[in-house]
């Protein structure tokens, strides 16, 4: 004899799980979550960085909020969004790892866009932890200054990729640089490494980004850069 009550429970249970899947079933919403993994953002800033209209970005954020993936709060005249919790980034990372392992097209797409990223060989988080004590190593955050202020690897310096040219004289050739940015598919660190190597500096990029570093429970700092 069927247990109707238990069947209804299962349907409702998996229906709740499916709400999360539906909220993630949009490339725009996944990008918004990745941006929010760097720190809180207003709708206006998210709209600009994702190249969505403010109305469209707001609609996507409402879907994410209804699914419990993001929170919002009023900051003066603006509404600021943030990830609802650290597990949201872990969910996005798990999705990324499954895609990397199961979709060969993803590897081809990344290679087509980034080229060969094995020269110079990337630095893993473990290697960076071991080498961070070496005063000759400079950890360079290539993200926008606002993201650095919201949180960065302890001891890192902020040199947004668009400011590398004007900051070059303050980056001595005798040091070695490890650049990082938003994550594996962010191009800021790649551009920073290319620029530094072109101008006679030893430079490599970290494999992961700041959200992965933070999620691993490694030392982070909050605050703006001091020039």
Write down the pLDDT at residue 134. Answer: 78
Q: Determine the Cα–Cα distance for residues 23 and 65; give it in Å rounded to an integer.
A: 9
Do the domain assignments include residue 59?
A: yes
Domain CATH code at residue 168 = 3.40.250.10
Residue 186: active-site member: no
User: Which residue's structure tokens are 């969505």?
Assistant: 52
Same structural domain, 128 and 217: yes
Do the domain assignments include residue 192?
A: yes
Q: Determine the Cα–Cα distance for residues 163 and 161; give it in Å rounded to an integer.
A: 5
Tell me the residue range of the domain where 135 lies: 115-221
* Annotated catalytic residue within 181, 193, 196, 206: 181
| Contact between 170 and 196 (Cβ < 8 Å) | no
Do the domain assignments include residue 205?
A: yes
Phi and psi at residue 169, in whole multiples of 5°?
-60, -25
Q: What is the pLDDT of residues 16-53, one digit of tens each?
A: 999 999 999 999 999 999 999 999 999 999 999 999 99
Q: Determine the Cα–Cα distance for residues 95 and 112; give it in Å rounded to an integer.
A: 21
Q: Is the pTM of this model over 0.85?
A: yes
Phi and psi at residue 113, in whole multiples of 5°?
-85, -45
Q: What is the pLDDT of residues 138-151, one digit of tens each?
A: 999 999 999 999 99
Q: Determine the Cα–Cα distance for residues 161 and 194; give it in Å rounded to an integer.
A: 11
Q: Determine the Cα–Cα distance for residues 226 and 211; give it in Å rounded to an integer.
A: 22
């Amino acid at each position: 004899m069927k247990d109707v009550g238990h069947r209804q429970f299962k349907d409702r249970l998996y229906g709740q799980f499916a709400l999360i899947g539906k909220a993630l079933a949009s490339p725009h919403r996944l990008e918004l979550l990745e941006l929010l993994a760097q720190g809180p953002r207003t709708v206006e800033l998210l709209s600009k960085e994702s190249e969505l209209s403010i109305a469209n970005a707001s609609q996507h954020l409402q879907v994410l909020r209804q699914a419990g993936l993001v929170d919002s709060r009023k900051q003066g005249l603006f509404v600021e969004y943030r990830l609802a919790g650290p597990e949201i980034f872990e969910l996005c990372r798990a999705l990324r790892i499954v895609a990397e392992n199961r979709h060969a097209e993803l590897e081809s797409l990344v290679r087509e866009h980034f080229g060969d990223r094995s020269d110079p060989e990337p630095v893993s988080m473990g290697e960076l932890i071991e080498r961070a004590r070496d005063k000759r190593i400079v950890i360079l955050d290539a993200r926008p200054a606002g993201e650095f202020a919201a949180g960065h690897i302890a001891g890192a310096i902020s040199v947004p990729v668009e400011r590398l040219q004007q900051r070059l004289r303050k980056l001595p050739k005798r040091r070695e640089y490890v650049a990082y940015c938003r994550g594996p598919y962010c191009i800021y660190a790649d551009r920073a490494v290319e620029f530094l190597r072109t101008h006679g500096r030893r430079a490599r990029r970290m494999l992961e980004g700041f959200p992965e570093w933070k999620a691993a429970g490694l030392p982070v700092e909050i605050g703006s850069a001091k020039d």
